[in-house]
Each structure stands twice: as structure tokens, then as C-alpha cells.
Structure 1
Amino acid sequence: MTESVGGPQRRMGWRGWTIVGVVAVLLIGGIVWGVIANSNSGQGEPGASTTPGVTTTPGPTPTPQPTEFETPTPGATDDVAKPGNGEEVPLDEPAPAVDGVVAEVTTIESITAGNDIPGEPSGPAIQVTVRLTNDSDAPVDTAGANVTLTYGGDDRLPAAGLTGEGTTVWPDSIPAGTSADAIYQFAVPSSPDGDVRVTVDILAAAPNVVFVGPRP
């Protein structure tokens, strides 16, 4: 039997290519495995590099430093004691000066007022105009000045103050040598008899001025 020429060589060539292919597959698999293993080694570590073949070590975590602030010393405050009311003054006379400020009731009259704002009573009332004259050499702070009124003589029933049209207040400051008027309205029932008292609070550290006289 005659053997074909070149048969062994063809069989040997086929086997050789098979071995070469297996080796190539193994080499490629090894390279892929190495890349994956190197990449996974950096996961879960803060600061680790994900670049294949490069490994970085995270720096130390800084220790928080305590912060202390000095507690500020509270400033000293002086209590302001309000003196008692001064002597009562007739409604038609100016009061003695209080720290250079003279108060006087220029007009007092019965009116019908109120109901200028929701819930405010409407009915008989007393309107009082009080003038402050600054006889001192410096401006006087009158931002907190106020007027109240009681009725019923010695019962001294407090009257509710009214706001709205016809009422005014003093400016925050009255310059030296000038005067300013303020108009106040108070709800006062027509039935009670007795004098009324108009109390003028000019300064926090000065006694109130009290005017007394018959209701208009």
C-alpha cells in the first residue's frame, strides 16, 4: 500500500497549530486575570489607586483640635428706679419743670370718639392736648413719653386710650428751646362723677407729672 506523500507533514502541521492556539489562549487568560486581580486589590481602600500596577497609601486622618472660646463677660447695667409721682397740679396750670422740661395741659374736652380700628369702643371720650417745652440746653429724648388718664375722683378708674384720627404723639426728640404738642383720647363713661387725673410720663428716671381737675 502506497502512503500519500506529505501526509505526516500535514498531520504534524495541524497538531502544531493546535498547540500554538492553546498556548495563546493561556497567555491571554493570564494577562486578563492579572489585570482584574490588580484592579480588585485597590477597591474598598480609601485613597488606593485604581490604575493597574500602581498602589498608593492613604495619608493619616488628621486629629480634630479642640476649640475653646472665652465666655464674654456680661456688661454691667444700672437699674433705673422710677420715682413716685410729683405733687398734683391743677389742670389749668403748667407743672414745675422736670429735668428742664415743662408740661402743661393746653386743652381738655369731651368728645365722641373711637371705632377707628376694629374692636375699639365708640362713645363718650375725653380729648387731652399736652404740651412739652424744653427749657434745657440740650435736646430731650421723648420717644418713651406717654399720657394716661383716670376718672371717678379718688376711685381713679383707668380710662382706655383710643387711637386713630385726631390723635398725635410727640416727636422722638424735642430740641432745646422748643415745644411740641401731643393729643390723646380716652374712652370715659358719662355717668361717673369726680375729678379726672392726667398723668404725664416724660422721662424714665424722673417723677411723673399729675394734673387734676373736674372732667369737662
Structure 2
Amino acid sequence: MDWQTWHDRYDTRDSPLARRLLTVQERIRLALDDCPPGPLRVVSLCAGQGRDLLGVLPGHPRRLDVRARLVELDPKNVDLAAAAARSAGLHEVEAVAADAALLDHYDGMAPADIVLICGVFGNIADPDIERTVDASTQLCKTGGRVIWTRHRKDPDRVPLICKWFEERGFDREWVTDGDQLQAVGVHRFGSRPMPLQLGTRMFSFVGYDKLRSAT
């Protein structure tokens, strides 16, 4: 898979992915608006070109308060994200070429005010989704938010993902309506974060096509 070319799908006007991106950006904007004064931390898993955060932060009043780490395995997309951050003057946004599934890559940034898990849950198996939700209790600070996505194709795992978050001390703040193919959810953490367990792998990235063909 050429993951740089894959991102071109976001440029197709009114496509499900383009609509999802706009929704995620709006939820990031609202989360930033509601964050307390002072420095903020954001982490993004499988960040791609960073279009979700970098589509919001340059024009947001909290832009200089945010320190962010975008973790992405594909080096071409990392370079694009890093270049976009530099051109916007976002010197506290770093794009890291690394395996986003390893908790080690969030050391020094967790627990964060905003955790982005976008484009992940549709590409990993159910046990790994739950494992990643569980790891969110290490990545997210008390009062922080996880913004996540998942398609609603059969089997629709959105209700189960919500259940897993809520069993772990997250409150459901917002989820797209059921008629939206690409769901976006926001869960806010009401408990104390757990210590970051270095050396832990949250998931193995399988890919949407392989998962669909296996069912």
C-alpha cells in the first residue's frame, strides 16, 4: 500500500473520508476550545500526514500552547506532516517515524489532553481494538479526550468500542449518528491515568482489506 497516495482520498469532495476528516477537525477544535489554560499535550496514533490536527491548529487561538507528537510509520507521510508543521510555525509539533502501536513512543507526552486514534480501529482486529482502548487509560490525562474513528460496516463495532471505553472510566461525550458510514467518537476520561507501560504493544496493523477478506 502506498500510504502517501492513499491520503489523496481525503481530497475527493464530499467523500465519506473527506466528511470524516472535517468532523474530526471540528471535534479537535471544540476540544481545544474547552481545554484549561496553560500548556497542552496532544498525541496522534498512526497520524499519517497529520491532516486532522494540522488542519485545525494553525488558525486556533491555543496554537502556541500545544505540544504535539504525531507518530506514523510511513516516512513519506512523516516528512509531509513535519513540513506542514514547520510552514505553519508550529515548532512544538513533532512528526516521528515510528511504530505507533508501541507505547514507548509516547513517553514524555502521556498523559495527554487530547489523544487521536483516527484511522486505526478499522484496520486492526477486535482484541487489539480493546487493547488499544485499555491503553488509552495510560495515554489520556484526567479530563482529557480521546477522539477516535471507526467505519460502521457490518459488523458495526461502534457500540462495542463505546462500551469498552465506558468500562474503563471514559464518559461518552459525542458520537456521530448511526446513519454515518464513517463514525467519529469522543470520550472524556474521568479517572486517574495509569502509568505508561513501556515495552507494551497495543495492536498489530492488519489493514482494512485483509480484515474484510478474512470474514
Give the alignment's TM-score, normalised by structure 1. Answer: 0.23
Q: Which has the larger strand fraction?
A: 1
Q: Which has the larger helix fraction?
A: 2
Larger Rg computed on CA atoms: 1
Give the alignment's TM-score, normalised by structure 2. Answer: 0.23
